[in-house]
Amino acid sequence: MSQRPGFPVKLNTSGGPTKGVRSTAEVSKAGVASARGSAPAGVGLDSSAVRARMVRKLAEQGVSDAAVLDAMGRMERHRFVESALVNQAYEDTSLPIGLGQTISKPNVVARMIELLRQGAAGKLGRVLEIGTGCGYQAAVLSLLATEVYSIERLKGLHEKARENLRPLRLHNVHLIFGDGMLGYPKGAPYAGIISAAGGENIPDAWLDQLAMGGRLVAPTVTAAGHQALVSMLKTPRGVERQVLEAVHFVPLKSGVA
């Protein structure tokens, strides 16, 4: 069996992984709590009460998966936003993270992960995230999956996510710099694939790398020309596709930059 990438990794020109510095630890409540000591001083966003209010709002908005609500309450979103916007960290709004990208609204993150977990008993297995961004969704997923492979095509965001995640010491998160449209075959098959960018079609590579019985959640452009959330379940009879609510994500692009 080929060795899996450590934290963080990047893809070299031959397509294989190049290992970076490994500095992650098993996710636990104690591990997340230990990272709180370096929270921004004077902001008060390291208080669990702030996150609890966000979680109550998510429940009111229809998120019902107890495991997802628990993870959203445990992971500190203010660690992943720009310092000038930190006081908006727990509002239900997307925020810019640089390079024309955004951190998704808490409701969208919770909704997509809830869809990914649909029908799952306990933790998910290995999950592939397309579009690491600032690293927040990967951090939430780390509490709900045995392993998270997260790929980012923009080097600046890949580096930002690495710095954001380093203090949390998440052993089961693997960051990859590469073309997300190609997925990451070295980690396949995946119990779940989730995308933070939407294109006109779901890349064949993603479905090829999805395990039988696995679920894929991503925004995509519908026949009407609008972007909508799509949930796809891979079965022996084929792929079951469900088109859900309208969403607005950054466009899915190929290559790296």
Residues identified as active-site: 104
CA 15 from centroid of its chain's CA atoms: 23
CA 235 from centroid of its chain's CA atoms: 24
Beta bridge partners of 242: 231
Distances (CA, A) of 226 to 124, 203, 246, 254: 30, 18, 7, 20
Range 52-60 contact pairs with CB under 8 angstroms and sequence separation of 24 or more = 53/90, 54/90, 54/92, 54/106, 57/92, 57/107, 58/106, 58/107, 58/110
Q: Peptide bond before 5: cis, by omega within 30 degrees of 0?
A: no
For residue 4, the SS3 value is coil
Question: Hey, which bits of 137-205 come out as E strands?
Answer: 145-152, 173-177, 190-195, 197-198
State the CB neighbour count (10 A cutoff) for residue 246.
12
DSSP-derived secondary structure letter, 111: H
